[in-house]
Structure 1
Amino acid sequence: MAKTLSEIELTDHHKLFLVKDGGALGPLLQLLSHDNLGMKTVAVKALKNLSSLPQNGLQMIKEGALGPLFDILYRHSLSSPSLREQVAVVIMHLAKSTNTPATDHEQISLLESNEDIFKLFSLISFTGPDIQRNILEAFCAMCRSSSGPDIRAKLRQLPAVQVLVQLCEINNQTVRVRSSAVKLFYCLTVDGDDISFQDHVGQRCIQTLLKIINTSTDEEESNAAMGIISNLPNNIQITQWLLDSGALDTIFAFITDGNQNALNKKHGIEDAAKALCRFTVATNKEWQRKVAESGFIRVLVLLLVSGTPLTKQYAAVSLKQFSESSASMSQPLKKTIAFICCFASSETGCQVHRGICKVESSFCILEANAVDPLVRILEDGDIGACEASLDALLTLIDNERLQSGSKVLDKVNAIPPIIKLLSSTSTKLQEKALDALERIFRLPEMKQRYATLAQMPIVDITQRGSSGIRSMAAKVLAQLNVLGEQSSYF
């Protein structure tokens, strides 16, 4: 009977019936402890067949299947290599079952203690490719479950990152093992700190990850490798290694390969846009120049239009960082005295920076036609994207650019959406909008044009907002002559 269950093709309906109503699970679990190796083997194969259905996997965990399965996996005297391979598949199925919607309201953990985690992970270094791959996939599933944060933290306390880096770098490693190792490595980078990775990630590891992105036919693997790149510690050494290893070309090809709308690829592009942010910081204009010369600024503008909210957010962050450098990179206009006397200048320069701006040399977001899509994002509703876009637009009204930048924002109709952000559920976004309006309303013509539109939302903040933001709102109302300078709101 067990042999039949191990070999027969079953529908999901029949698998569920056999476990839930057919009474098959109890006898199969008993057979796992049978002295006869052949009996153990057919029982494990039957469980492998039934456990591919997540509901059944959860039931097996609840009824204590893990104990005898781990006994077979760890105690070689009770099993054979092929049997342990089958057990590893069952454990992988059980791990994946913990990610099903049925577990949303009950936390079901595959591994309870640090010792359980250590014992299972240690097998990766002492087993063949098939067992390695299934254990890696089991840990991937556990890292994505409701208990994922705890599992990830415990793995980072082990030498897990070091083991995974080695599995990625070994040239003779099977592709499927490497792929599973990369995916688990990515899981561990999601919420880890710099200390967890900086001792194990060197230039060789970075070159390996970039090679995987460039050559892998497994889209999930290449996405995971890009995710690792995006989450690496943001320090000068790693950034330089990335540049030296050709990361910009890899990221550019990844974003522009023409398959941006695939669901899996969208997540990868989010990570690619995030990875790019480390190269666009205003504190290193040489890095910015390399990114701009690679053609990224126009790509970032396209991502503002077509990307997911998170992609738009990261694209806006990079454009903001570029724009912070534009004033110092814009070339002054050159006019001779004779030219000024005899002719009207045909070269008026950038409306904001008053010099000659080019996308690749001065990183000007106005020249790159980024301002309109940034304004549209303000009305998208995603808080992260709105905040990043507003930050980018505010670089146009910094310091001496206040008047010229405000005129540009007025021309593209950016000020009404900024005023609408005063009603946002995000206090931080309200603060940024108030900061923008406080600057803009220093100009009498802007105050006259938009005071009526802004007055009521600002008054609402003085009545409903937190103490800090009420004071900011009151100062803007004083600019609009709605409150006196001695108001109790200050």
Structure 2
Amino acid sequence: MLEGLIGLLVHYARSSDQSIRSLIQESHFMTIFIGILNIHSQWRAKQRAALGLKYLSQSAHTQVATGDLEPQPPRGFCAPLVLICGKASMPSLCPIHNASCEENSSFCLLKGNAIGPLVELLNDKNTDVQIAAVEALFTLVLDPQSLTNSREVLEQLDLFDTAVTLFKKSRPGELQERIISMVDRFLRIESLIQSYSLDQDLVRALVEALKHGTTNTKRHAQDILTNLRELSGVGGRTSNHSRGRRTNR
């Protein structure tokens, strides 16, 4: 029954209908999905909840792209932001959407406090759950400018280190292909690729992915290796960097 109910909510979360979007915000869909992740329920329910968060996040990006959620300056409230941001005075811009997203939003993963639970889900024992979490988090790294703006907060939420660690441990298959796609996205940001340029464990994992991964995995591995080698120098250098960058924060 739980799986069926969550599946129904996920169906609504994919809708572009304005009245349903209003219902999603009023009924706090994001809070419901996060609750499913936090109570350690059945893996299929967690998978569907993570996918629900993915669709809510995609909806936010779609509304911005279509002009339903025009990026706003940090001043008075604007009507097109009602669905994602609610009523607020003098709101600050969300670094992900460049819009005035309100706390506890049902569309913004950052303001809805969904990023932390999704990052934790990357360590789940079920591969299907991990893949769903990767898909949801991938919506945060699609736009280079948005990723640059939100880099600091996403780093604080441990997204980058956890994703890189998962990639290092992943084997050839769908999970590896999905996670390396995310890693490729955020390692296009100069400040981030500099942080990982001397991580020899990452380089070894990329070389293995280049040898044994799927076609898409090999393409992403080649792109990342090229960028890393251009930054660190041909041949690379030995380093104990792996997680050491945390000590420099």
Opposite residue 478 of structure 1, the aligned amino acid is T
Aligned pairs (5 A) from 1:431-470: 431-451=177-197, 452=199, 453-470=201-218
Alignment pair present for 1:408 and 2:153:
yes
> Is the CA contact (8 Å cut-off) linking 1:281 and 1:288 kept in structure 2?
no
- The residue number in structure 2 matching 1:332 is 72
| Bigger Rg, which one | 1
TM-score norm. by structure 2 comes to 0.74
Cα deviation per residue 1:29-76 (whole Å; 9 max; x = unaligned)? xxxxxxxxxxxxxxxxxxxxxxxxxxxxxxxxxxxxxxxxxxxxxxxx
Given that 1:431 and 1:469 are in contact with CA atoms closer than 8 Å, whether structure 2 keeps it comes out as: yes
> Which residue identity is paired with 1:413?
D
Overall identity of the aligned pairs, in %: 25
One-letter amino acid of the structure 1 residue matched with residue 56 of structure 2: F
Please say if residues 317 and 389 of structure 1, whose CA atoms lie closer than 8 Å, have aligned partners that are also in contact.
yes
Give the aligned length.
207
Query: Structure 1 residues 443 and 367 mapped into 2: Cα distance closer, same or farther (>3 Å)?
Result: same
Alignment of 1:374 with 2:122, yes or no, is no
SS in 1 for 2:135: helix
Instruction: Quote the residue 1:417 is aligned against.
Output: 162
Partner residue, 1:364: 108
Specify which structure has the bigger relative contact order, considering alpha-carbon pairs within 8 angstroms and separated by 6 or more residues.
2
Whether the aligned pair in 1 keeps the contact of 2:177 and 2:216 (CA below 8 Å) is no
**In the alignment, is the contact (CA less than 8 A) between 1:375 and 1:389 conserved in 2?**
yes
Q: In 2, Cα distance between the equivalents of 1:476 and 1:388?
A: 23
TM-score, normalised to structure 1, is 0.39
Structure 2: gaps of 5 or more residues: 77-89, 232-249
Could you tell me which amino acid in structure 1 is paired with residue 226 of structure 2? A
Q: What amino acid does structure 2 have at the position aligned with 1:410?
A: E
Shift of 1:362: 6.2
Q: Supply the distance in 2 between the matched residues of 1:445 and 1:326 (Cα, whole angstroms).
A: 26
SS of 1:457 mapped into structure 2: helix
Counterpart of 1:299 in structure 2 is: 32
Gaps of 5+ in 1: 1-267, 337-345, 484-490
Pairing partner for 1:287 from 20, 32, 35: 20
AA in 2 matched with 1:316: A
Rounded Cα–Cα distance in structure 2 between residues aligned with 1:289 and 1:361: 12
Is 1:323 the counterpart of 2:67? The answer is: no
Letter in 1 for 2:132: A
Cα 1:330/1:309, change in 2 over 3 Å: farther
Match of 1:278 among 3, 6, 11: 11
Provide the secondary structure at the position in 1 that maps to 2:46. helix
CA–CA separation in structure 2 for the residues paired with 1:330 and 1:405: 18
Instruction: Indicate the larger mover: 279-288 or 292-301.
Output: 279-288
- In the other structure, the counterpart of 1:312 is 46
Residue 325 of structure 1: CA displacement? 2.1
